[in-house]
Amino acid sequence: MNSLPLLECTDVRKAFPKPDGEELLVLEGMNLELREGQIVGLLGRSGSGKSTLLRLIAGLAEPSAGRVRYLGETVSGPARGIAMVFQSFALFPWLTVFENVALGLEAQNLPRAEIRKRSLAAIDLIGLDGFESAYPRELSGGMRQRVGFARALVVHPNILLMDEPFSALDVLTAETLRTDFLDLWAEGRMPIKGVILVTHNIEEAVLMCDRILVFGSNPGRILSEIKVTLPQPRNRLDPSFREMVERIYVEMTARPKAGGRHERFPGLGIGSVLPHVGSNLISGLMEAVAAPPFNGKADLPEIASNLQMESDELFPVAETLQMLRFAELEGGDLKLTDDGMAFAHADIDERKRIFMRHLLAYIPLATHIRRVLDERASHSARKSRFIDELEDFMSEEDAEQTLRSVIRWARYGEAFAYDDENAMFSLENPT
């Protein structure tokens, strides 16, 4: 621990200006250290700022406060020695595999012969030989991401940044790529010294990383750091592996203690961003939890694999249930409330009644809209009115999404109607 860390983030903060002059805080109090020989995972849900942090590290964006240091030097602009692998591969479709890989070296003005030698070596290393003259569109997703890896490795970076590199691939291909990557890493055949992996997949993080930083959202911050000491290669079925996955699930569903009366039901103001979750998913999850073998209480990792959902897809639904007080989230478990159980066993009309009651009681925004509509003689109101209100608390996109969510739920519960053409809320349904 005496040597200089490869990378060091101290008190990094990132905020974006909003149109109204205020700022939107995305990341706060980020402290991170990457040392030689480590794979560090940044684990969190979408919107937790982990990709933003990765871009700050890569020098693609500037932190609003704090410092990112690479080998002791402050990063300002893209640094040589830090290479990135992208979620969407980000290959140039008009360049062949070889040209894509060689591009980073061309940018360094190396002699042609060396570019050729090193590119071919990288292509060879990553298992792409034979594909040199192919265009990206001729390759499968897995092969494309291999090009992404070769392109990053060819510049001999010290640090490899990976932004959800496997999430656009199918399960089988992703696993093959992970294993290949870990083999090369273990054998020390890649020129890299440290890796930062952004992911929302808990198992992937446990499988690949030495340290996992769990991110919380709004604003993005590190909730906890978990050391993974299991020996490589790791086995997903190993009980200690499962236990670690379980522990992280608990970590990610735990809420910071608000100190209020609603310990289990976090207080929601009108300014909370509502997740983009449809009524079918809501009732689907409740049905699944109510049914055997869960009978009203389900372990999150278990029900995720049971429903073939990724944690990133499951969390917002579970959270919505919690918001609507159809369920409690605690210690990695999802437990239906009495009303939740009643909902799961009710018929369509009864479900709508229960849903409307909960919607108007526990989603302040829905309550607010309904009250405005009730109070007005016309029983109608412009959408822009509520958007303006929401934008005091959140970004423009979040306000749009939040309103869309509440409209979906209100339509399902028949709490109020919305006419998209005129952008008007009203009490009666149109004929």
Partner 1 sequence: MNRFEPYVFLRGLASRWDVLAFIVVIGLIAFLGETARGLFAPLTQLEVLPLSLSPSHLPEYAARTTFRMLVALLCSLVFTLTYATWAAKSERAGRLLVPILDILQSVPILGFISITSVFFLSLAPGRVLGAEFAAIFAIFTSQAWNMAFSFYQSLRTIPTELIEAAESFRLSPWMKFWQLEVPFGMPALVWNMMLSMSGGWFFVVASESISVGHSSVALPGVGSYIALAIEQKNLAAIGWAILTMLIVILLYDQLLFRPLVAWVDRFRVEQEPGERVPDSWALTMMRRSRLIKAATLAFDAAVLWTSRLGRRTDAPVVDSPPRPKRSLDVLWVSLIVVAVVLGTWHIVAGLIANTSVSEALHVCGLACITMVRVFILITLASVVWVPIGIWVGMRPRAAEIVQPIAQFMAAFPANLLFPLAVYGIVVWKLNPDIFLSPLMILGTQWYILFNIIAGASTIPAEMRYAASNFGVTGWLWWRRVALPAVLPFYVTGAITASGGSWNAAQVSELVSWGHTEIRARGLGSYIADAAAANNFHQIVLGVGVMSLFVVVINRVFWRPLYYYAERKYRLT
Note the residues at the interface with partner 1 (CB under 8 A): 55, 58, 60, 78, 80, 82-84, 86-88, 90-95, 103-104, 106-108, 135, 137, 151, 155, 404, 421-422
User: What CA–CA distance (Å, rounded) separates 298 from 292?
Assistant: 10
- Nearer CB in complex with partner 1: 82/366: 82
- Nearer CB in complex with partner 1: 251/400: 400
CB of 43 to partner 1, least distance (A): 21
CB of 338 to partner 1, least distance (A): 34
- Nearer CB in complex with partner 1: 306/426: 426
CB of 137 to partner 1, least distance (A): 7
- Nearer CB in complex with partner 1: 83/366: 83
- Nearer CB in complex with partner 1: 93/188: 93
- Nearer CB in complex with partner 1: 88/133: 88
- Nearer CB in complex with partner 1: 37/78: 78
- Nearer CB in complex with partner 1: 149/343: 149
CB of 376 to partner 1, least distance (A): 16
- Nearer CB in complex with partner 1: 58/190: 58
CB of 266 to partner 1, least distance (A): 27
CB of 192 to partner 1, least distance (A): 14
AA letter at 262: H
Question: What tokens were used for 100?
Answer: 């894509």
CB of 99 to partner 1, least distance (A): 8
CB of 144 to partner 1, least distance (A): 12
CB of 344 to partner 1, least distance (A): 28
Under 8 Å CB-to-CB from 72, ≥6 apart: which residues?
Answer: 4
